[in-house]
Amino acid sequence: MRLTNNLLFFFILILSLYSQPVQAQSCQELETWTRLVEHEFPSVESKSVRSGSLIYNSIRFNLLSDKYFIPVFGKPFEKVGKLKKFSIKVKLTKCKKKPKFPVSKRLDWYMWGVFSQERAYNDAVKEVVLLRQLRNELPSILTKINSPMVTNDDLEDFAKIVETKFQRLLPSEINKLEKAIEKQYTIASKNQLTLAINSLKKEEASFDKLMIISKFKTDNELLLKKLDQDTRHNFFKKLAYLKTKTISELVELEEMLLPNISAVTFQDYAAINTIIDRFTTNWYPYSNLPRVEKLRNYYFELKTLLIAVNHREVIQQIINTNTLQGFKNTQEAIFKYTFSSDQIILDIKSAIVLKYRQLQLLLRIASDEVQSKSYSMATRKKLLNSVKQIQKYERVSIEGKNLINRALHKSQVLCNYIMLEELKKITEPFLSIEKKTIGDLNRLKVKIIDFKNKYKTCDGEVYDGCIKAMEGIEKNYK
């Protein structure tokens, strides 16, 4: 009897679930509930959604999330009891069969297994809890994003979080975060650029600072692109002012050094070169600026005057070098950073050119005299030619004169050696002929004449002796 009463009660309960409305469970309300989430995905009405896809899961779990589930069913999804879940499942089954409510069919598809299978239910609870946590974090995240002190690095981090962790939220919620981030990029870029410029302002004037200012637009191109045109233009104006101010301060520092540089002597010309080297290197990118050009001209005038006033010492220092390369190096260092059109500089260079030519000839004589092993008239002629050219100069050093004397001596030694060798070549073949003819004598006579013409510049006792010996042989056989 008691068992019969229990079965009767359960049967009446089942009938009531199918025939009586549950709180906010009319088919129309279920349709409205579904459309609130489906509205985020317009394509679902025209295309079927694959189970387990990103869109499917987003609709499925967001429908069950607190934001959409509580207004319809009065409590969080995980708080709904078994009887209530059963009643919802029954209602979905009834609604999807009614043509008047086409969305209910899709809703039943979204809710597959959630109200009737334990595994599907437990998975759904996990997602609902996670969605609850994400939505609880939203206000805090938005506050951080909208902070006036947010940096681009912060925003990059937030963007990564949105792209990963917050992808479970609906597109409208994700879009809200993305728009907030995009808006703040402008503010953050402005803050970062302002901070960078303010930091530059505090630095003392230097060429490193000037280089950073010059490269600022290139180095911060991405940040500048995120600004609106007016804000970007204002930053450009600030940079231009900062650049002009820094250049002015650096020029003033250069001008403060001028009294010390003006006091240098000729012996310090190498130090002046170093100073001007530094100046031209540092100021090269700004050499067209009037104040910079004025400073450059001052340095050139100072160096030119220093060389002009000490022109005798300049010439002496240059000609005292013993090698052509040393001559060139010294000359280059002395005339570096002078006005080449200055008349005194031109006169000094003209005098030095003559000395340079003389040094070339002396070194050639030294080379020929020491290194030459060729006993020929060509070698002798080369030596005499160099000597002749040097003798045109009014002043020749004692060392130069000694070289000339050695060259002349070697010239005579060459003559004597060559004439004696030639004498043998002429006389020995003639004397070896047993029966000499008139023709042999005539040939000897021609060779004697050629000898005289060929070696007449040699002159001296050896020359005269060779002529006398050959003419004596000719006379004996006439």
pLDDT of amino acid 101: 92
d(CA 102, CA 272) in angstroms, rounded, equals 94
With pLDDT > 70 as the criterion, what percentage of the chain qualifies?
81
pLDDT at 70: 96
pLDDT bin (cut points 50, 70, 90) of residue 322 is low
197 in Cβ contact with 217 (< 8 Å): no
The amino acid that residue 22 corresponds to is: V
Q: Which stretches within 284-437 are classed as H helix?
A: 290-309, 311-319, 324-335, 343-371, 377-390, 398-431
Q: What is the pLDDT of residues 354-382, one digit of tens each?
A: 666 666 566 666 565 545 555 556 666 66
Q: Averaged over 253-279, what is the pLDDT? A: 82
State the pLDDT at residue 38: 92
| N residues, the chain | 478
Q: What is the band of 404 on the pLDDT scale with cuts at 50, 70, 90?
A: low
Higher-confidence residue: 379 or 295?
A: 295
Instruction: Choose between 426 and 70: higher pLDDT.
Output: 70
Instruction: Tell me what the pLDDT averaged over the chain comes to.
Output: 83
pLDDT of residue 361: 61
Q: Which of 167-176, 362-371, 383-392, 394-403 has the highest mean pLDDT?
A: 167-176
User: Could you tell me the two tokens for 302?
Assistant: 């100072």
**Tens-digit pLDDT profile for residues 221-241:** 988 998 889 999 999 999 999
Position 260 scores a pLDDT of 75
Range 273-299 average pLDDT: 90
Domain definitions of the chain by residue range: 16-136, 146-246, 264-371, 377-476
Predicted pLDDT at 112: 93
The total of other beta-carbon atoms located within 10 Å of residue 428's CB is 9
Closest CA to 61 of 86, 75, 78, 74: 78
Q: Has residue 436 got a pLDDT over 90?
A: no
Distance between CA atoms of residues 294 and 254, nearest Å = 11
What pLDDT is attached to residue 384? 66
Sign, CA dihedral 109-115-117-122, equals: positive
Q: What is the dihedral of CA 303, 305, 310, 312, to 10 degrees?
A: 100
- Mean pLDDT of the region 18-39: 75
Per-residue burial over 53-80, b if 16 or more Cβ lie within 10 Å, else e, is eebbbbbbbbbbbbbbbeebbeebbbeb
Q: Taking 90 as the threshold, does the pLDDT of residue 169 lie above it?
A: yes
Give the residue with greater pLDDT, 38 vs 404.
38
Label residue 317 by pLDDT band (50, 70, 90): confident
Flag whether pLDDT at 4 surpasses 50.
Answer: no
Instruction: Report the C-alpha gap between 410 and 404 in whole angstroms.
Output: 10
Binning pLDDT at 50, 70 and 90, where does residue 15 land? very low
- Tell me the range of 39-53, 114-128, 313-327 where mean pLDDT is highest: 114-128
162 pLDDT band, cuts 50/70/90, is very high
pLDDT score, position 6: 47
Write the Ramachandran bin of 441: left for phi over 0, alpha for psi from -120 to 50, otherwise beta: alpha
Is the pLDDT confidence value at 63 over 80?
Answer: yes
- Output phi, psi for 69, to 5 deg: -80, -45
Closest CA to 343 of 303, 312, 319, 308: 308
The larger pLDDT score, comparing residue 66 to residue 419, is at 66
pTM (2 d.p.): 0.52
pLDDT surpassing 80 at residue 18: no
Burial label for 50, CB within 10 Å (0-12, 13-18, 19+), is exposed
Cα–Cα distance for residue pair 432/49, rounded to 1 Å = 129
Q: Express each pLDDT in 112-158 by its tens digit.
A: 999 999 999 999 999 999 999 999 999 999 999 999 888 888 999 99
**Would you say residue 56 has pLDDT above 60?**
yes
Handedness of CA 332, 338, 343, 345 (dihedral sign): negative
- Residue-wise pLDDT for 189-228, tens only, equals 988 899 999 999 999 999 999 999 999 999 999 889 988 8
Average pLDDT over residues 74-94: 93
pLDDT at 24 over 50: no
- Between 346 and 66, the more confident residue is 66
Q: Comparing 426 with 477, which gets the higher pLDDT?
A: 426
The per-residue pLDDT for 149 is 83
